[in-house]
Each structure stands twice: as C-alpha cells, then as structure tokens.
Structure 1
Amino acid sequence: MEETGIESEFVSLLCFRQKHDYKFGRSDLYFICIMKAKTLDIRPCPNEVKACQWMKIEDFASHPDVTDTNRFIIKSYMESLKHEHHIVPTDVLDYRRKITQPIYSIKAQTDY
C-alpha cells in the first residue's frame, strides 16, 4: 500500500532468505508474501517508486532486468499454485494460554 497505493490482503508466505553481514554489517531477513489485490489502481509514491505497472508474470519472468533471485521466486510461486500448498498462519495459544500467536506452516489450499 505504501509504495503503490494498491490495497491488498495477505494470502500466504511464499519464501524468505537470510543473509548475515549484509548492509551496514547487519543480518537481513527478506520475506516474500503472496498477496491478493483488493484494488487495481496504481498510485505510486513518487519518493519511493520511479515507475510501476501490472504485468503478466511470464513477461516479468522473461524481462532482461529480472534477477536470478526474482526468477527463483517466480518459479516458487508457480510451483505453489500447481501443488496448492501454501505457508499460512494459524493462531495458537501461547505457552501462558493467555494470547494467541501466529504459527506459520504448510497447508493445502483446501485447509484454510
């Protein structure tokens, strides 16, 4: 929403990566989530986004500027659709049994 103005809702976690000693000597966790757009009108933040547009996933995957990392993420997304399994949260009581916490696990699409 912040960068594109597109309202969306969380569907599932797709993948993540961790790097130690990344920028500024810090560790970095990078999460990719599958989101469902609730609006289609793009209103990019001019301070953060130079340009953005909707694209067919095949066009994005074949674009010469797309990195190997993003190609891997696209492949992972296509596999998740094919096998209909996703990493989704389930609220579970914490050890004190006073509040719930989201536990992410792999589930078949029909389970949620």
Structure 2
Amino acid sequence: MTYWIPEEPCMLPSNASHQVGVGGFVINDKNEVLVVQEKHFTPSLSGLWKIPTGFIHESEEIFTGIVREVQEETGIDTEFVEVMAFRHVHDVAFQKSDLFFVCLLRPLSKQIMVDDLEIQDAKWMPLVEFVEQPLIQEDDMFKKIIDIFIARLGKRYCGLSVHQLVSKFDDKLSTLYFNTVDDPNLNCQAS
C-alpha cells in the first residue's frame, strides 16, 4: 500500500516487472554437455535433456547465479566464462517479462549429484547427441542458441565477459558485461 504525496501522477512502480533467469552451457574436455531432465515439466517436453536453468536471487549477479544454479541442480562446480546471448520475452509467469541469460561455464568438477527436488536426472551428454534431440531441432530459438554455442567453441564468436566497475553516478560497484575483442578479425580466445 502506497500513497504518492505530490499532486501529480504516482511514479512508484506497481511491483516487479521482470524475472531474471539463467541457463548454463557446461562443456567438458570430452566435448560433452552437462544436461538435466526436470522432475516437473509440461508433457510436450517429455524426454528432453536440457541445460541447467534457474532464476537469479534478489541482489545476486548473473555470473554468480548461474554458477549457483548449476551446482544446486547437478553438484558440478563451475567457473563462469561469459554470457553468450540473452532472450527477452513478455507475459510469461505471473504476467511478468522474462530476461533469460545463456552463459558459458567451465566445469571444475566431474561427479554429478542430482538435486532430487527439482531434477529427475543429470548426465554428461555428447554435444552431437544433445544437438540432435528432436525437441531442440524443432525449436528455432534453441537452434540459434546452439549455433552461437558451436561458433563460440570454434572461436568464431565472442560473448560478453564480466567486468566490475564503480560508477560516479551512484558510487556503487556495478557489473558490466561486454565483449573485449578489439580487432573484429581476431578469433575469440577462451578466457
């Protein structure tokens, strides 16, 4: 409950307008992708092996949130590499807009320990097998994300790296994600 004192339109937002989600591509040295099957899913997604996903907590950074989500769901410790792409869609859960960041992560451990509250199963799947899943092949957006991921593995695409800076506007430490490649003719090098 609020009351705007000035005799003009209220400038207070009604409530949160967006939710922020993350998904993590974790690929090991055998060219296998860390994938999960959700415990609770719509029937149309039955049998789908997907990348670990989740929501960012309040006051949590994207790069720490995706590392946390992957660890919670699979037990795999990872290191954030970069944001490869993000999606913005409107009118999803609770009529909110959704920002979803697709991130590349480097595995720091190998042993999977499934979170049985959310996840039915998890495994390391060969990249070729992951890409060939019918549900992935039928989805235009996910096929594009796979194209970006494969281009990144081939060092033909550079994502957005994390840089923490203080701004004079608010004197707070901010996280800025940007591409650090100066020469567009250079192949992107893994960090």
Q: Same-fold call, TM > 0.5? A: yes
Q: TM-score of the superposition, structure 2-length normalised?
A: 0.53
Q: Is the 8 A contact 2:72 2:115 kept in 1?
A: yes
1:74 aligns with 2:146: yes
Count of residues in Structure 1 that have an aligned counterpart in Structure 2: 112
1:5 aligns with 2:88: no
Q: Distance in 2 between matches of 1:111 and 1:57?
A: 18
Q: Distance in 2 between matches of 1:65 and 1:84?
A: 25
Q: One-letter code of the match for 2:142?
A: N
Check 1:78–1:26 CA distance in 2 against 1; reply closer, same or farther (3 A cut): same
**What percent identity do the matched residue pairs reach?**
26
Name the counterpart of 2:108.
38
Q: One-letter code of the match for 1:106?
A: N
Name the counterpart of 1:57.
127
Unaligned residue ranges in structure 1 (runs of 5+)? none
Q: Distance in 2 between matches of 1:73 and 1:84?
A: 12
Q: Is the 8 A contact 2:84 2:158 kept in 1?
A: no
Name the counterpart of 1:85.
158
Name the counterpart of 1:14.
84
Unaligned residue ranges in structure 2 (runs of 5+)? 1-70, 182-187
**Larger Rg: 1 or 2?**
2
Q: One-letter code of the match for 1:86?
A: G
Q: One-letter code of the match for 1:43?
A: M
Q: Distance in 1 between matches of 2:143 and 2:157?
A: 20
Q: CA deviation at 1:99?
A: 4.2
Q: RMSD of the alignment, in Å?
A: 2.1
Written as runs of structure 1 = structure 2, the 5 A alignment for 1:94-109 is 94-95=167-168, 98-108=171-181, 109=188
Q: CA deviation at 1:24?
A: 1.6
Name the counterpart of 2:93.
23
Q: Is the 8 A contact 2:82 2:104 kept in 1?
A: yes
Q: Distance in 2 between matches of 1:41 and 1:110?
A: 27
